Structure 1
Amino acid sequence: MSRVLPAVLLGLGLAGCVATQKDVLDLSQQSDDLKTQVSALNKTVESMQANQADLSVQIKQLREDLAAYGETVKASMGDMGKLSAKLDELGSQLAGKVTQLGTTLAAAQRKGLEEQKAALDEQKREGSATELFVTSEKRLQTKDYAQAAAGFADYLKRFPGGELTDAATYDLGLAHFGLKQWEKAGRQFAVVLDQYPKSGQTPGARLHYALCLVGMKKSLDEARAYLESIATDFPKSPEARDAKAALKNLAAKPAKR
């Protein structure tokens, strides 16, 4: 048994050494791991510190940008105030111009309506005048001299200065001539000759004025002069032929004043 005990103690000693060596190796491995973790942590801290520096710079830049933006906003608000005032002024001017334009348009519309009404009235007036003239002309052609004379006289009274005034005056003379009212007829022909010397009725007015003088048996020399002027001034007119025949009838008559 004395031999066995040392052997056991030797075995325990060797086992203790082995266990201690393993623990040392494990501890060394843990130390290395810890160093690695510490190194990684240091890198992380350094990275965070760098990021924090960048973040500080960014925050500072952001503050500067915000300050500049604030100044820009203030300036913009001032400009907006000026723009608002300008818009109010333009709105006021525009309202005034719109009002003025509305007044002008209303006046132009009233004027246009008045002109249209005047034109319609004139058309109606001309239509009535033409209708009266045509009716009187038909009566003259059918030798209804009394009604024709009344119609032409009415025309001249209602439409003085109308487009057919010279013709109506001449036809009124013809109506009186048909009624052998020489003086009344001669007065109308004299008006045509005096007031409408360029009228197309001039040859007929000269002829009938002269015939009225013959009918009244006075101023035959004047009548002869008018008859002769027709052949001279209007040689191709139908009245020139009638004037020549009238001159032959006057040739045998003594001149009277």
Structure 2
Amino acid sequence: MGKVVRLLPLTALLLLSLSSPVRAGLFEDDEARKAILDLRNRLTELENAYKGRSEQLSDQLTTAQRAGLDLAGQIEGLKSEIAKLRGQNEQLARDLAETQRKLTDLQQGLDARLRPLEPQKVSVDGKEFLADPDERRQFEAAMAQIRRGEFAEAVAGFNAFLKRYPSGGYVDAARFWLGNAQYGKRDYKDAIATFRGFVAASPEHPRAAEALLALANCQIELKDNKGARRSLEEVLKSYPGSEAARAAKERIAALR
């Protein structure tokens, strides 16, 4: 529009100069008309160019405004999506923490349930070993029957125990106390066989001398004094410094 403004005075000047009587003779009428037409055409071209450029700029501005609005909408959409994702992440974090807590509780509960099933360290007659909880309960149940004088039940209990756990750490103790339960039940022959098997299998056991002494007592109950003497003499020979050896001396003297 600035160029148009500058051209307008030029057109007016030309028109004035052509109309002036002083300069009328400088131009022929045809040349003047041609010049005027050229100027008008130029003016029209400039006006059209300006109009076209203005429309182009207007379109570009509209497009830019529309793009700006679209971008603003996208930004708002992204903000909303980010807020949504943030909320989901927070919920996932809470869910994860809750799951971890439940897993810890389950693990602790499982450990608590499994702990009674795990082998336990026990000590019997100076011997330490690991025993299954059921093995320990069954042995202690049979021992409790002996303490209560329930010898028949104890015999059944120890026999069942030895059948179920033939090679565990309780085997020697179970054989020894089985012999005692048989003695208490007055099954002297069975007790003799049990004590002999115990001593033969574990001659170094802390109760081996006591088992031989108990074997001799069974023989005495069966009126087998010769066999009892041999058993008592074996106690003196194999375990001379034991409490059983001192008792064996007294019983040998009594057999005379």
TM range (shorter): 0.3 to 0.5
TM-score of the two chains, using structure 1 as the length reference = 0.47
Higher helix proportion (structure 1 or 2): 1
TM-score of the two chains, using structure 2 as the length reference = 0.47
